[in-house]
């Protein structure tokens, strides 16, 4: 039994560009110009899930993927920080921002901690590693980071060392016992 899991990060938003904590904002108008993503690369797809967030659903639609919303793929709930920029928080509440970036259990914004996101994704991946076929998930950088940490069994502190760009693709496979990262060959 072989499982393949392709993670696609949603396209660019104004919040991405301005360094803001996301809310449920749409893709930027120019996202269609940057979507130079070839679905041929994905091959046969057995199931497609997306975060319920507007930007993820729009990305799936832009890529012509008929995706089913999956609540486990939600972005971190940033609570009171939604829509606010890192620069603004650095100026108005630097202690809370520093706490959040150094203690992944902390949620000074009143939303979800990054550790909670990691546990949610660990649980989801644990339920699906024996699922044969190819699954595609359109979601958020924080969720994809959590999935990478899960596969690598890396410490939570490594969360900040992973950069996932809009329309980024991360591939994983499972042999029915565990997930592993996969780096596919470039198209010929």
Provide the percentage of residues in the chain whose pLDDT is more than 70.
94
Instruction: List, in order of start, the domains of the chain with CATH numbers.
Output: 3-182 (3.40.50.1240)
pLDDT exceeds cutoff 80 at 4: yes
pTM of the model: 0.93
**Alpha carbon of 140 to those of 88, 164, 175: distances in Å?**
22, 9, 25
| Residue in this structure with the two tokens 């010929």, named with its chain if needed | 188
Q: What share of the chain is helix, strand, coil (3-state, %, to 5)?
A: 40, 20, 40
Provide the percentage of residues in the chain whose pLDDT is more than 90.
81
71-92 residues labelled b (16+ CB within 10 A) or e (exposed)? ebbbbbebeebbebeeeebeee
Q: Is 21 exposed, middle or buried (0-12, 13-18, 19+ CB in 10 A)?
A: buried
pLDDT per position as a tens digit, 120-176 = 999 999 998 888 999 999 999 999 999 999 999 999 999 999 999 999 999 999 988
pLDDT exceeds cutoff 60 at 187: no
């Amino acid at each position: 039994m072989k499982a393949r899991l392709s993670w696609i990060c949603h396209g660019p938003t104004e919040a991405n560009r301005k360094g803001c904590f996301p809310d449920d904002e749409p893709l930027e108008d120019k996202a269609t110009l940057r979507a130079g993503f070839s679905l041929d690369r994905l091959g046969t797809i057995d199931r497609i899930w997306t975060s319920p967030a507007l930007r993820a659903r729009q990305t799936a639609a832009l890529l012509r993927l008929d995706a089913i919303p999956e609540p486990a793929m939600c972005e971190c709930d940033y609570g009171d920080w939604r829509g606010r920029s890192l620069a603004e928080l650095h100026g108005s509440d630097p202690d809370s921002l520093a706490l959040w970036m150094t203690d992944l259990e902390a949620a000074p914004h009143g939303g979800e901690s990054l550790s909670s996101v990691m546990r949610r994704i660990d649980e989801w991946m644990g339920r699906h590693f024996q699922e044969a076929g190819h699954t595609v998930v359109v979601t958020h950088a924080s969720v994809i980071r959590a999935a990478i940490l899960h596969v690598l069994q890396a410490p939570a502190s490594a969360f900040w060392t992973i950069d996932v760009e809009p329309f980024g693709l991360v591939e994983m496979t499972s042999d029915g016992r565990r997930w592993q990262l996969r780096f596919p060959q470039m198209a010929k």
